[in-house]
Amino acid sequence: MQKIALIGAGRIGRIHAANVAAHPELQLAYVIDPIADSAASVAQSFGAKTADLDGALGDASVAGVIVASSTDTHLDFSLRAAQAGKAIFCEKPIDLDLGRAQGAQAQFEAAKARVFLAFNRRFDPNFRALKTKLDAGAVGKLETLHITSHDPSPPPAGYIPVSGGLFKDMAIHDFDMARWMLGEEPNEVFAAGAVLVDPEIGRLGDIDTAKTILRTPSGKICVISNSRRSGYGYDQRIEAFGSAGALRANNVVESTVEAWTENGAQADQFQNFFLDRYAAAYKSEMAHFADMLVRGAKAQIGYADGVAALALATAAQASHVKGLPIAL
Amino acid sequence: MSQKVDVAIIGAGRMGQIHGPNAARHPDLRLKYVVETDASLAGALAAQTGAAIATLSDALNDPAIRGVVIASSTDMHLEHSLACIKAGKAVLCEKPIDLDLAKARAAAPAFEGARFILGFNRRFDPHVSALRDKIAAGVIGNLETLTLINHDPAAPPPAFIPRSGGLFKDFTIHDLDLAYALLGEPPAEIFATASCLVDPMIAELGDVDTARVIIRTKSNKLCVISNTRRSGYGYDQRVEAYGSKGMAATGNERLDAVEVWTENGASASPIRPNFLSRYMPSYAREMDHFADVLVRGVKPSVGYAEGLAALAWAEACAESARTNAVVKL
């Protein structure tokens, strides 16, 4: 059993804690959170102890650290864990400041850190199956890609100022997905953002709607569609257009029941928000972390991937503000 | 039963072969003349529809002719339209109005008061018009963003490329018009990016075969247009409209509704292979509208102004792709 310390006992921390506890090769040893009640609650639920960071990192029997704290602490906690020789499972994004994230890369390399940057959507069974078929040449050579990522409803207004903005907070998932699917680094970004959902988001300096185009050196084009409020659930789709056809991963529905009446057909809603929609992905990424710890597997998504996604998000924000395409 | 109204058609090529029979079989219309310089095309369409072959001047000088369908080559659309309008005929003209914006713009005075339908057929597609009705009825709240997918099944012959006007004026122009029809607002800004991924020959001929366009309207509605000359899976024609209370979308029609499940998984029949297969109902409805204009004095729902605007936006797309910059309108 590999011992795990969890930093952050919030919403996503609790998900990871449950997946650690459920994994046959992992054991949740410590939960670290400045909010004592949260730490105690998660620790108690999954048979762990609460600890402070030094205590957890100082325990030589701890093999891996999960960083699920607030975004502004991801980088510092990851670096501390790296310097303590622990393998790291870090929530996205790696940081909100590209320069800082780039600057820290050498320190991670110096510590020979094993960092897994947990972009959960790569572990979604649907998107993974699409990628497998794409790589197998099911639709010939990939030419263009559409990623749709619409949240059901906007976050509380209080979250907006600390979120880093729509591109770094939300679209960063899609930038990572685009890099993974395209198999080529985008070298140009154009983003058109708007405030259409809630004027309060605009007053706080952010946007709630965006359409982004990425281009690669070989001329591949990717469109990302983002909204903070769909009005119809959590819309998570990918379409990949190739030289010999198209692949599509659709939304996952709450149930497969459809009802027909004289008024037409009625299908069930999409699975609600990320905790439900990506439950399998969170479980699967924890299995990957166990593979890293137990069998020495290489992280499928590393620190450099986190930096690359952040670079795209930063460029998209600049493009939106300036009204120009940005070269990378 | 009122008497049928006599109409003529100019052009018996690909589009003439759609519009000619639609006019001939329409309960309110009689196709009297086919005007076409290619004798074998003229003969075939005349024989099929029971119309007589005539010259343009004979057709226009016949006072019984009340309307003319223009399905000639693109470079003749404007000239033929002007001649028909001058002769007092109502016109149903294929898109685009012209490939030269300045020339099309200069013709504006002649179109004032003319009964002129520009055949942006997708507006007449039953699925698209149902979607438009539902948006207007508020089923998705306020329309905020729009995605238009328009992928051709296979690239046109290389010989067509140089006289096509380029991807944006030839192909994207449909989507630019549809975006305007659905958004209810013209673009204020356009950004387009394009690649040649399908056939290097298209690049050698100075065109592109793959494009994505982002439109922003004055009220900040956003629209994405997706175009390719070759899908590899049929004629992909979809609209997704995102509103404050939900999404409304039109999917593709399939050749048949059969689905098959085996141990290899599920399979469905291909989507419709080309525009003839997909949009025949839209052309019939377009002809219904022409008959309404001729017989019942209905005002054309799409005409010169829309054609001119879409052409200007297509030029803006080309300029944006060329300069890699946002074009403000």
Contact B104, B77 (CB under 8 A): no
Whole-angstrom Cα distance, residue B105 to residue B304? Answer: 10
- B224 contacts A223? CB cut-off 8 A: yes
Q: For residue A296, is pLDDT > 90?
A: yes
pLDDT band at B2 (very low <50, low <70, confident <90, very high): low
Q: What percent of chain A has pLDDT over 70?
A: 100
What is the Cα gyration radius of chain A? 20
**How close does chain A come to B8, measured CA to CA in Å?**
41
> How big is the CA angle at B92 (ends B125 and B76), to the nearest 5 degrees?
115
| Range of lowest pLDDT (A257-266, B12-21, B200-209) | A257-266
Residues B275 and B289 in one domain: no
Burial label, B153 (beta-carbon count in 10 A; 0-12, 13-18, 19+): buried
* CATH code, domain carrying B240: 3.30.360.10
DSSP structure string for B10-41: E--STTHHHHHHHHHT-TTEEEEEEE-SSHHH
Chain B hits for A263, CB-CB cut-off 8 Å, are none
Q: At what angle do helices B304-323 and B173-183 cross, to 10 degrees?
A: 120
pLDDT band at B311 (very low <50, low <70, confident <90, very high): very high
| Range of lowest pLDDT (A43-52, B27-36, B254-263) | B254-263
**How close does chain A come to B3, measured CA to CA in Å?**
39
Residue in chain A closest to B211 (alpha carbons) equals A221
Q: For residue A27, is pLDDT > 60?
A: yes
pLDDT band at A272 (very low <50, low <70, confident <90, very high): confident
Contact B96, B76 (CB under 8 A): no
Residues B21 and B97 in one domain: yes
Mean pLDDT of B298-315: 98
- Amino acid B3: pLDDT: 87
**In this structure, what are the phi and psi dihedrals at residue B10, rounded to the nearest 5 degrees?**
-105, 120
Q: At what angle do helices B275-296 and B126-136 cross, to 10 degrees?
A: 70
Residue A223 in tokens: 């469109």
Which of A197, A213, A232 lies at the smallest CB-CB distance from B212?
A: A213
Residues B116 and B223 in one domain: no
Mean pLDDT of B153-159: 93
Q: For residue A251, is pLDDT > 80?
A: yes
Mean pLDDT of A295-323: 97
Which of A192, A215, A244 lies at the smallest CB-CB distance from B193?
A: A215
Whole-angstrom Cα distance, residue B310 to residue B46? Answer: 33
Residues B152 and B183 in one domain: yes
pLDDT by residue (tens digit) across A119-163?
Answer: 999 999 999 999 999 999 999 999 999 999 999 999 999 999 999
- Amino acid A74: pLDDT: 96
Residues B133 and B245 in one domain: yes
Mean pLDDT of A161-174: 96
- A230 contacts B242? CB cut-off 8 A: yes
Chain B hits for A192, CB-CB cut-off 8 Å, are 189, 191, 214, 216, 222
**Complex-level ipTM:** 0.90
Residues B133 and B243 in one domain: yes
Residues B128 and B269 in one domain: yes
- B326 contacts A150? CB cut-off 8 A: no
**In this structure, what are the phi and psi dihedrals at residue B49, rounded to the nearest 5 degrees?**
-105, -10
Mutate to test the interface with B, among A188, A190, A320 (most CBs of B within 10 A): A190
Q: For residue B49, is pLDDT > 60?
A: yes
Location of structure tokens 């290899």: B264
> What is the bridge-based pairing of β-strands B236-243 and A209-215?
unpaired
**How close does chain A come to B61, measured CA to CA in Å?**
51
- Amino acid A137: pLDDT: 97
pLDDT by residue (tens digit) across B184-210?
Answer: 999 999 999 999 999 999 999 999 999
- Amino acid A48: pLDDT: 98
Residues B231 and B242 in one domain: yes
Whole-angstrom Cα distance, residue A165 to residue A176? Answer: 16
- Amino acid A195: pLDDT: 98
Chain A hits for B222, CB-CB cut-off 8 Å, are 192, 194, 209-211
> How big is the CA angle at A67 (ends A189 and A282), to the nearest 5 degrees?
75
Q: For residue A314, is pLDDT > 60?
A: yes
pLDDT band at A275 (very low <50, low <70, confident <90, very high): confident
Residue in chain A closest to B218 (alpha carbons) equals A194
> Residue A211 pairs with which residues in a beta bridge?
A192, A225
**In this structure, what are the phi and psi dihedrals at residue A124, rounded to the nearest 5 degrees?**
-65, 130
Location of structure tokens 């192909």: B171
**How close does chain B come to A100, measured CA to CA in Å?**
30
Residues B204 and B291 in one domain: no
Whole-angstrom Cα distance, residue B234 to residue B272? Answer: 6
Q: For residue B274, is pLDDT > 70?
A: yes
* CATH code, domain carrying B70: 3.40.50.720
- Looking at the complex, does the CB of residue A221 fall below 8 Å from at least one CB of chain B? yes
Q: What percent of chain B has pLDDT over 90?
A: 98
Order of strands across the sheet with A326-327? A245-249, A235-242, A142-150, A221-227, A209-215, A188-194, A326-327
Chain A, residues 76-105, CB within 8 A of chain B, namely none
Q: How many structural domains does chain B have?
A: 2
| Domains in chain A, CATH or no CATH each | 2-113 (3.40.50.720), 122-273+309-327 (3.30.360.10)
Residues B100 and B182 in one domain: no
Q: For residue B1, is pLDDT > 60?
A: no
- Looking at the complex, does the CB of residue A226 fall below 8 Å from at least one CB of chain B? no
pLDDT by residue (tens digit) across B118-147?
Answer: 999 999 999 999 999 999 999 999 999 999
Mean pLDDT of A248-274: 90
Residues B273 and B189 in one domain: yes
Which residues does B276 contact at the CB level (< 8 Å), separation at least 6? B18
Domain region containing B268? 124-279+310-328
Residues B25 and B101 in one domain: yes
- Amino acid A256: pLDDT: 87
